[in-house]
A = this chain, B = another copy of it.
């Protein structure tokens, strides 16, 4: 016990020192959870192979309250894996010890710092342990009391209870004080206990600075059967240093040099050589399946199929090739068609109910544990999880998103159900891939490429059945495009994807009758974008018209402009510019000026005064 208290002192010492050295950071939020984390890590329950952070049997520790990073790094220092010199570079450029934990530091499971997200990531890891890898590791998540105000925390709790994730153990550090003052409930722990119990968790209320209580709680937590466990700990922010302990106004503030001197004097002598022991994990092997081969794609040109349907079919088709796939859906699997996968592989499908934030966090947890999560909902409803999506890039996520019901072409359901900003949202991510197939064949091929590609990929699918454009053996690469119509006398290039590509093809036929030729490009990969083909089209035809069932900002038009910005040609963007509403898909495409009619009008406006080419050149068609 005395040993643990000495380790806690070591950790308090460094939490204070390194934040002062950095000139910023959250020492007080670290001090409140120091005893809890010391007890967890070095008190005999935590199992971890320090030489192998990727060991599949390691217990997982997620700091959902990521601002307690001084504590986090000091813990691993107490484990002997971070030197004092490394600690002193905390928050400095090029140090892996960033302001909030990121995977730059090898013991970080997931980047945190946007509150209320850690528990969902833990749900993903615990789902993996229980249902997929079938391993005995436990997942621990340290939470702040303030972040329980985030609805996402409660989404994670309800899903964890639903799936009976008894290997998931949360620790709430109830230090009473948020950033600018007291939380809604201060030190009233019964509020937390009542709520968390009502959400189906086992709860253990303790004094978070009393080591015997802490050790008993962790032991008890490991014995839960059937329920996730939340340890609710009464703590003091700044615990251990009288002039900051339980005092408001000290959030996110490093001590000044003289304050640090005072604090360290109060802390007393620290044994810098002290090290905590962590027990090694078992060596159980994860349940694994060998990759096989997927069946080929098979569509007939006669029968239109919605790309959303092709998405579901593809998931089911390719699982043998990608046995690490997992499919999640937010209670709309009969709309996104992930239900096709579910029907065949129910053990690899997880219903996430209408809680998109937690779905993304869970997917991140699964992705970190080596799975390939495909997650789907209406394109519009991924906006619900933009913060989780944004954060996932900092954990190098490998999540495959599919948003169905894109654009006004969904029709009668109206604006609330129309994804009109999803391309913009997913394009913002560094290194993301954004795909938007126009037919079932390309959709299936692109789903395969999603699985192959390491990183964040978003696919946008369409509600309506659309004609098959391609042959079953055509291939579609990330970063590619398809020139569907091309001649030597093209007077403009129309770049489209999804529903509007079919409008562009209709426009082509109409214009052709009048002797006007346009180039039509299927921009199925919006990011990365096919600069070469677009550049050539710009050069050949001198003008580009983009047509998209999406708002202007951040959409296909701006993506194409970005691609061509150094060799500029005029680019006309047809997109959703008026408040959308209910109606028939065709009416809405016309209303928003993104239908064949609008394309024809735009081409005519551009070619007005142009001479009809005197001699028709050979028209090259590509399928």
Contact = CB atoms under 8 A, between A and B. Distances in A.
Given A111-B415, A394-B416, A355 B151 contact: yes
A565 interface: yes
Contact of A562 (B180, B416, B561): B561
Interface stretch (A95-103, A234-242, A465-473): A95-103
A146 interface: yes
A512 interface: no
A593 interface: no
B551 A554 contact: no
A265 B380 CA distance: 39
Contacts of A178: 331, 353-354
Interface string A327-344: 000011111000100000
A166 to B, nearest CB: 17
Given A93-B587, A102-B581, A184 B158 contact: yes
A280 to B, nearest CB: 32
Contacts of A184: 158, 162, 353
Interface string A163-183: 000000000000000111101
Given A113-B413, A416-B111, A581-B98, A421 B390 contact: yes
Nearest to A571: B565
Interface residues of A, number: 112
Interface stretch (A123-131, A318-326, A425-433): A425-433
Contacts of A565: 557, 561, 570-573
Given A428-B424, A568-B568, A416 B114 contact: yes
A428 B553 contact: yes
Contacts of A559: 553
Contacts of A334: 179-180
A588 B99 CA distance: 14
Given A178-B353, A195-B195, A394-B415, 11 more contacts: A24-B413, A99-B414, A99-B417, A102-B415, A151-B151, A179-B332, A180-B335, A194-B198, A195-B199, A197-B198, A424-B424
A294 interface: no
A68 B138 CA distance: 43
Nearest to A333: B180
A588 B93 contact: yes
A306 to B, nearest CB: 16
A189 interface: no
Contacts of A115: 354
A391 interface: yes
A285 interface: no
A383 interface: yes
Interface string A582-597: 1110011001000000
A570 B567 CA distance: 6
A412 interface: yes
A420 interface: yes
A118 to B, nearest CB: 11
Interface in A170-219: 178-181, 183-184, 191, 194-195, 197-199
A391 B412 contact: no
A244 B56 CA distance: 48
24 contacts: A23-B412, A24-B411, A24-B413, A91-B414, A93-B588, A94-B583, A100-B413, A113-B413, A113-B414, A147-B354, A151-B155, A151-B355, A158-B184, A179-B334, A180-B331, A383-B389, A383-B390, A386-B425, A394-B579, A425-B425, A428-B553, A558-B562, A561-B561, A568-B569
A524 to B, nearest CB: 18
A427 to B, nearest CB: 4
Top 5 A-B pairs ranked by shortest CB distance? A151-B151, A113-B416, A568-B568, A93-B583, A554-B554
Contacts of A572: 565-566
Interface in A372-427: 380-381, 383-384, 386-387, 389-391, 393-394, 411-417, 420-421, 424-425, 427
A22 B412 contact: yes
Contacts of A194: 198
A28 interface: no
Interface in A433-474: none
A154 interface: yes
A5 interface: no
A367 interface: no
Contacts of A199: 195
Contacts of A415: 98, 100, 102, 111, 113, 394
A413 B570 contact: no
A591 B199 CA distance: 45
A619 interface: no
A97 to B, nearest CB: 8
Contacts of A573: 562, 565
A181 B339 CA distance: 12
Nearest to A428: B421
Contact of A354 (B116, B181, B427): B116
A381 B152 CA distance: 13
B582 A93 contact: yes
A383 B389 CA distance: 9
Interface in A97-149: 98-100, 102, 104, 111-116, 146-147, 149
A92 interface: yes
Contacts of A411: 24
A597 B91 CA distance: 23
A74 interface: no
B570 A412 contact: no
A18 to B, nearest CB: 12
Nearest to A144: B354
Interface string A475-497: 00000000000000000000000
A552 interface: yes
